[in-house]
Amino acid sequence: MIARNKRTASFDLSELIAELEIPFEKRESIKPLKTGNYVYDLILKKENINRQQAFKGGATQSSVVFRKLSGKPLVISFYSSQWQEYGLNHLKQLNKLQREVNALGGNILIITPDAMDNTLEEIIWNHSLYLNFYYDQDNQVAKQLKVYADHDPAWNRYPGIEVNIPLLATYILDASRQIIFDHVDQTLEEGIPSEALLDALYPNSVYELKSKSA
């Protein structure tokens, strides 16, 4: 009879750590601000605002744009080139809303972490966009509105996104910096509810007209 050597692996149980003992840091998902919240500490640097005219490629002075934006209802919408075709459609929808928003006394400002480079200028030119863009360096504005956080990156919510960018969110702030409209596109299918956005602006427009006529 041939004897067989049996090799048995030995373990030092003291080296094993029970699963429940492994430290686990629970991080809450970001919670974007909602209608009714105030954003008192919102600071827009006029040197980061770029108004690029689609026709002739002319640019309006940023100081003029900043004066026009202040003191009126402001539609803030976040954008990044990472959204690709869907992001472009997002800009086109806002571009169509621009005239109605202006007629109701408001302005639209696109907040983007993308640098104001030739790529953005080409998008503006090729699609005849008449929108104000704000370069949100280090996502400071996005953090204030709680649509961006390092601990809860965008790829946790949206498949195909490989860079942490702000959520595809749109807000309206009134002259007192209170949020009177909020929308976060969770499915990348719904787009901005245009009628609801304009309805939120309408009471402010009526109030301004009454104030001027008083």
Q: Is residue 131 part of a domain?
A: yes
> What local confidence, expressed as pLDDT, does residue 44 receive?
85
What CATH number is given to the structural domain containing 62? 3.40.30.10
Instruction: For 100-151, write each residue's pLDDT tens digit.
Output: 999 999 999 999 999 877 788 888 889 999 899 999 999 999 999 999 999 9
The whole domain housing 90 covers: 36-213
Whether 11 is in a domain gets the answer no
Contact 148, 111 (CB under 8 A): no
Does residue 66 contact residue 44 with C-beta atoms inside 8 Å?
yes
Query: Chain-centre distance of CA 134, in angstroms?
Result: 11
Q: Does residue 5 belong to any structural domain of this protein?
A: no
Which pTM was predicted?
A: 0.79
Would 65 be classed as within a structural domain? Answer: yes
Q: Strand 132-135 to strand 107-112: parallel, antiparallel, or no bridges (unpaired)? A: parallel
Q: Is residue 183 part of a domain?
A: yes
Residue 159's pLDDT band (cuts 50, 70, 90): confident
Distant-in-sequence, close-in-space partners of 57: CB < 8 Å, separation ≥ 6: 121, 125
Mean pLDDT rounded to a whole number for the chain: 81
Three-state SS at 103:
helix
- How far is it, in rounded angstroms, from Cα 65 to Cα 74? 12
Looking at the structure of the chain, the number of domains it has is: 1
The pLDDT tens digits of the residues spanning 47-95 come to 888 765 433 344 444 555 566 666 789 999 999 999 999 999 999 999 9
- Please write the tens of the pLDDT for every residue from 200-210: 998 876 555 45
What is the per-residue pLDDT for 121? Answer: 85
Output the pLDDT for position 118: 77
Strands, sheet with 179-184, edge to edge from the N-terminal-most edge strand? 59-60, 49-52, 132-135, 107-112, 74-78, 169-173, 179-184
Angle at 179 between CA 174 and CA 185, to 5 degrees: 125
| Burial class of 213 by CB neighbour count within 10 A (0 to 12, 13 to 18, 19+) | exposed
Residue 183's φ and ψ, nearest 5 degrees, are -155, 125
Residue 10 falls inside a structural domain = no
pLDDT of residue 53: 44
The verdict on residue 150 lying in a domain is yes
**Residue 209 domain-assigned?**
yes
